[in-house]
Amino acid sequence: MRKGALWTTICVTLVVSGCQAAQPTSQAADGPHASSLLPLRERVEIAERWTQWKKEHVLPMVMREQGVDLWIIRDNEADLYYNNEGPVFSSLVPADLRGMIFDSQHGDARPAFLLFYDTGDEIEYVEPRDYDHIGEIVAARQPDTIAISSFNNEPMLAALGSYATRTIDSWTLGVRWYETVSPAMIERFRGVVALANEIIAEAFSAATVTPDMTTTDDLNWWLRQRMLDLGIEHENHPSISIQRSLADIDKYDDPMEHVVGARTRNDIDVVIRRGDVLRVDTDVFMLGLVTDTHQYAYVLREGESEVPAELVDALATANAIQDQFAAEFKVGRTGKEIVAASDALTFPDNLAGPPTNDFHPPPKNMLRFVRDGWMLSTKTAVVGMTSGPGYASTSIVTNDHTLHYDTLYAFEPHIDVTIDGWGEQGLELGHGQIVAFTEGGFEFLNRAPEWHVIR
């Protein structure tokens, strides 16, 4: 272990005795959002009420939008993505305001099938007993269009009999159900992002970071501990990375690959030095919403009182390009079309390479439990339109999906700005921020466009 890392470890152990490396989280001054967090029970009830609202308003809208009369969801059709019942099933299965799903009407701990039928006046819910029962229900209602999963669907097609010719793939319908949010969800998410901003501002401050002693891994664990102390659910381990000028790379003994670029691995632990640019990739998980935030900090050198002008200008350049990319989000465009329109834009000359308009749906999760306490899907789901052809093997995304109103995105443009003394690769400054797309247009939810400053 290097001496700086050992000293930081000792400081973390002895903070109550006055060590100055990092303030204990119990002494941290909570910001307005951190000091007004709801109890977990109330958070769950809020999320469940959103789901009830969606069933009343979003479900009929998306079924009619997709021309679907009857929708059947199996509890195993998401094996393609999750090896369990998956996010569409778990978000539609009936539950109470505690997130406890109701027992199957046929004696099991949970339903095996969900069926929704548009009567024209309302969406009727029926829980089929088995495939034979599905055939009976469908024959009685005689729908023109039936949405089912195309994954391992041979038993379903057999059960539908002659109605099998009326089926369409339910993939887009499931995405539209899951991605669509209510105005209340957007407003709450605005507050969740503000909470994430507060925590990151505290992490990127002299109260937490002591240059030449604190390491990137210290800061990663500080973030996890802070969220634990605040009672915030958390999914991913934070990721702090460093970008360093060429002169400072020569000055310190860290390998070049540890301090160039902004996306280093978490098994790399680097002592934070003055003059470093820090990047955080972390998230706050609350109310089933995940912030997926990327922000930047500059560590002032001795004698500096503010961020150097060339870095301020570089971030302004990156923010202006983000605004250009934001203007290309137009309803009805696919992810591919948004990216193609973005690539055709004209950019400043001070870039190390072409900027890319990267985005994906923010992870969301509806935590649901059977009555004996077992949890359904535990992994968050990334569902909807993305900039690339995929996101991860368990994601339900495509860049062929179109942009719709009342959807959310983790907006993560990749922008490398050329600055003298920082190498040919430039300085990566792609703030990652949550945005909403509504009839009012593209909106940052509590954008944090400035440098954090560590003194």
How far apart CA 26 and CA 230 sit, in angstroms, is 9
**Per-residue pLDDT reduced to its tens digit, 160-212:** 999 999 999 999 999 999 999 999 999 999 999 999 999 999 999 999 999 99
pLDDT at 190: 96
How far apart CA 423 and CA 260 sit, in angstroms, is 9
Confidence of residue 83 (pLDDT cuts 50, 70, 90): low
**Per-residue pLDDT reduced to its tens digit, 14-70:** 333 333 444 434 445 688 888 889 999 999 999 999 999 999 999 999 999 999 999
Count of domains observed in the chain:
2
Phi, psi (rounded to 5 degrees) for 279: -125, 135
**Of the given ranges (10-14, 173-177, 319-323), which has the lowest mean pLDDT?**
10-14
**Of the given ranges (11-20, 99-108, 117-126), which has the lowest mean pLDDT?**
11-20
Instruction: Give, in order, the Cα–Cα distances in Å from 119 to each of 62, 123, 124, 255, 384.
Output: 14, 6, 7, 65, 27
pLDDT at 394: 57
For the chain, the average pLDDT equals 90
Residue 326's identity, in one-letter code, is A
**Per-residue pLDDT reduced to its tens digit, 228-284:** 999 998 778 999 999 999 999 999 988 888 888 766 677 789 999 999 999 999 999
* Residue 35 in domain: no
Write out the residue range of the structural domain in which residue 394 sits.
3-30+182-454
Segment (H or E) for 148: strand 146-148
pLDDT at 452: 98
Provide the 8-state DSSP code for 237.
Answer: P
* Residue 246 in domain: yes
Does 2 score more than 60 pLDDT? Answer: no
pLDDT at 28: 54
Q: Of 146, 179, 212, at which residue does a domain stop?
A: 179
pLDDT at 128: 98
pLDDT mean over 97-108: 92
Tokens 């790399």 — which residue? 268
pLDDT at 80: 60
Q: Tell me the helix, strand and coil percentages in the chain, rounded to 5.
A: 35, 20, 45
* Residue 237 in domain: yes
Angle subtended at Cα 94 by Cα 380 and Cα 43, rounded to the nearest 5 degrees: 55
Q: Of 143, 164, 179, at which residue does a domain stop?
A: 179
User: Residues with Cβ < 8 Å from 452, sequence gap 6 or more?
Assistant: 200, 201, 204, 205, 278, 295, 296, 297, 298
Residue 39 CB-half CA count within 13 A: 3
How far apart CA 448 and CA 281 sit, in angstroms, is 14
Q: 119: domain CATH number?
A: 3.40.350
**Per-residue pLDDT reduced to its tens digit, 51-66:** 999 999 999 999 999 9
Confidence of residue 368 (pLDDT cuts 50, 70, 90): confident
How far apart CA 145 and CA 157 sit, in angstroms, is 13
Contact status, residue 84 vs residue 376, Cβ threshold 8 Å: yes
Angle between helix 216-230 and 3-13 (nearest 10): 20
* Residue 135 in domain: yes
394 and 262, same structural domain? yes
Instruction: Give, in order, the Cα–Cα distances in Å from 265 to each of 240, 242, 260.
Output: 9, 11, 12
* Residue 241 in domain: yes
Q: Give me the DSSP letters along 14-42.
A: TGGGT-SSS--GGGPPP-TTGGGPPPHHH
Confidence of residue 115 (pLDDT cuts 50, 70, 90): very high
pLDDT mean over 309-329: 97
Q: Which two tokens stand for residue 318?
A: 């990156």
194 and 172, same structural domain? no
* Residue 338 in domain: yes
pLDDT at 81: 59
How far apart CA 240 and CA 264 sit, in angstroms, is 8
Cβ neighbours, 10 Å, residue 304: 14
* Residue 61 in domain: yes
Q: Which two tokens stand for residue 60?
A: 């009929």
Segment (H or E) for 171: helix 171-179
* Residue 407 in domain: yes
